[in-house]
Structure 1
């Protein structure tokens, strides 16, 4: 009898697990395609002319692909208000995003990768990524950002990669990256930089790759301190 009861419990658990596995894929926006990719619960919503984040995605989704849409505006807590608190990776490339609320990504505590490249973002509030403490990879390239202000990025202890190439950047404050100590890769190619503060990167002891070519550098005394650090 005991063996029989154990078998029943085991069967119930197996069925329950199977149902749960199916449920998250069925609870998917009609326009998106939900499936497992590289061991992650992923929602593929690329190139669907979406003007807003789908509201009926499973809260279990870990990877959200929204490339090539027409979102234009991302509002406060855009993802957490939809219950998407388990997101680890968000891809928003080429989605015509013009406005990004400073708390768009608030409470996404396990977000590790964010792609906002090739949009129309002109301004980034210094608190835009505040609270995204696990963020490791940030793609912002090909946005007309133009200026990086003081303390542009909040404290992000796990951030290792930032790509800001082709952003029309002409000015970087000496404290723009002061809260990011362990960065390993920074791409500033193809911008409009003529000079840089001499100590802007000196605190980055783990910086392995710094790409700054294809900028109209003005080789004068203002650039000397940075140049000396760069060639060391």
Structure 2
């Protein structure tokens, strides 16, 4: 079935026949004003004739969702010069050629989420010089070409989460000079090369949760001076160097929950003096250095629940004048803990029990 729909004053061409394996140009209606091309529910569809897009000279958005398409050959989107958004979610795409996206120099958003990609070949995205968002999440990616992102200088959001990536090559993202949000969560990464985040001076948010990290190297984030949010939760982290968070003076949110941390060293957070939220819950912390929070004058939210703490130093929070909420349930804390928190003027929530 093919039909035209006026969607928010934009004409949309919708194709949802479930009995077609190859979409031919003559199956679609002609209309110069169509801006959105959509395919959904065509579960048996395996191939699209690139000439289909020749009909629509004003096309801006392409959505192909839930089909049986497994390959994107060269020039798959011929004559789509003005398209600025392509969404290819929940198909069966296994491979893309270096010329698949040839000519799409106006594309700003490319989403290939929930497919079967394994190998990202070099040069695949070379023509996408104006791309701002690239989502390759929930695939089966294991190998990434070393120079695959080299032409993506306008990229701000890169999502590689929920794949099978084991290693990030040194300087892989170094040419993505405007990258602000990077998601590498839910992969098989055990360690990062010292130059893994080289060149990411504009990065604001970095998600490294649900990996297999066991330690955080010294100065591993030193090339991310403007990072504001760092998620290291749900790893196997036991050790952190005193310079693990070196140069993160703009960090506001640090999530270390659900790891295997047993001790917080006194100077661990000394470079993160703008930190506002610190999540250390669900670890095995027995000891916190007396000066661990001394430099955290902006801290307002602290989670320490479900650890093995039996005491907190009497002057531990003396510099945390803005601390507003602290969670402590699931520890062996006592009345002395409450006395140690009494000097904090803005503290209005002390959670000692899980309720």
TM-score (normalised: structure 2): 0.53
Deviation at 1:174, TM superposition (A): 0.2
The residue that corresponds to 1:196 in the other structure is 264
Indicate whether 1:166 and 2:234 are aligned.
yes
1:144-163 matches, within 5 Å, as 144-163=212-231
| Gap regions ≥5 residues in structure 2 | 1-56, 61-79, 102-106, 293-311, 319-355
Indicate whether 1:68 and 2:154 are aligned.
no
Match of 1:44 among 111, 123, 126: 111
The residue that corresponds to 2:195 in the other structure is 127
CA distance in 2, matches of 1:27, 1:212: 39
CA distance in 1, matches of 2:231, 2:239: 16
Indicate whether 1:53 and 2:120 are aligned.
yes
CA contact (8 A) 2:84 2:109 kept: no
Over 3 Å counting, the alpha-carbon distance change for 1:158 and 1:230 in structure 2 is: farther
SS state at 1:90 partner? strand
CA distance in 2, matches of 1:160, 1:29: 29
The residue that corresponds to 2:324 in the other structure is none
CA distance in 1, matches of 2:129, 2:267: 44
The residue that corresponds to 2:65 in the other structure is none
Deviation at 1:26, TM superposition (A): 8.0
CA distance in 2, matches of 1:152, 1:72: 23
| Gap regions ≥5 residues in structure 1 | 1-17, 35-39
CA contact (8 A) 1:24 1:58 kept: no
CA distance in 1, matches of 2:143, 2:268: 31
- Matched residues, number: 205
The residue that corresponds to 1:105 in the other structure is 173
Deviation at 1:19, TM superposition (A): 6.7
Kindly indicate which of the two structures has a greater share of residues assigned to strand.
2
CA contact (8 A) 2:190 2:212 kept: yes
CA contact (8 A) 1:25 1:58 kept: no
Deviates most, 176-185 or 46-55: 46-55
CA distance in 1, matches of 2:156, 2:174: 13
CA distance in 2, matches of 1:179, 1:44: 32
CA contact (8 A) 1:126 1:154 kept: no
CA contact (8 A) 1:28 1:58 kept: no
Higher relative contact order by CA 8 Å / sep ≥ 6: 1 or 2? Answer: 1
Indicate whether 1:231 and 2:317 are aligned.
yes
Over 3 Å counting, the alpha-carbon distance change for 1:60 and 1:189 in structure 2 is: same
Deviation at 1:78, TM superposition (A): 2.7
Indicate whether 1:175 and 2:250 are aligned.
no
Deviation at 1:230, TM superposition (A): 5.7
Report the RMSD for the aligned CA atoms in angstroms. 2.8
Kindly indicate which of the two structures has a greater share of residues assigned to helix.
1
Deviation at 1:73, TM superposition (A): 2.8
CA distance in 1, matches of 2:108, 2:215: 36
